[in-house]
Amino acid sequence: MQDSHTKLIRLMKLAELLVSRAETLSIAESCTGGLIGSMLTDVPGASAWFLGGVISYSDDVKINVLGVDPLIIEEKGAVSEETAVQMARGIMRLTGSDIGAAVTGIAGPLGGVPGKPVGTVCMALASEMSDESITMHFTGPRMVVRMASADYLLDMLLVRLGGRL
């Protein structure tokens, strides 16, 4: 995990890139429960580029608010790259942002299943141009998995925007 100084620099870089590209961001969070939104809005003036998000903790919120296909959740699981991509597209559509970001995972200590142990986290970025997604396996207690997920997604965003880690 990164120290707070490194985190702050990354957030400022992210804000700067979004402002210079005149792009807006929104976020759909499951296992991180608002942590990423909270980090983004720690930056003064975030309202210039951050439109908002959905904390889709229950599957019903993923389906009814973000428009995730219930069949995808049934077949691939709520923690899957397919679901993450649909969450990212859903929040982009819902808020009208240029970029949608999403995280869905198993923070633990319970909730692990065969093939998807605690620490499995799927992340996605969506835009009009293209989608990308990844599955990571983080190790550690609940808070570490959540923070590692937030850090990873913010790094994905920075790279997507043409920034450097």
Residues that bind a copy of itself (CB under 8 A): 27, 29, 31-38, 40-42, 44-47, 50-58, 60-61, 64-65, 94-96, 107-110, 142-143, 146
Nearest approach, Cβ of residue 164 and a copy of itself (Å): 26
Q: Is 58 helix (H, G, I), strand (E, B) or coil?
A: coil
The nearer residue to a copy of itself, 108 or 156, going by C-beta atoms, is: 108
- Closest to 54 (Cα-Cα) out of 39, 79, 37, 42: 37
The nearer residue to a copy of itself, 108 or 119, going by C-beta atoms, is: 108
Nearest approach, Cβ of residue 144 and a copy of itself (Å): 12
109 class by beta-carbon count within 10 Å (0-12 exposed, 13-18 middle, 19+ buried): exposed
Whether the CB-CB separation of 26 and 37 falls below 8 Å is answered with: no
Adjacent-strand bridge partners of 102: 28, 124
Q: What is the CA radius of gyration of the chain?
A: 15
The nearer residue to a copy of itself, 101 or 164, going by C-beta atoms, is: 101
Please state whether the peptide bond connecting residue 109 to the residue before it is cis, i.e. omega within 30 degrees of 0.
Answer: yes
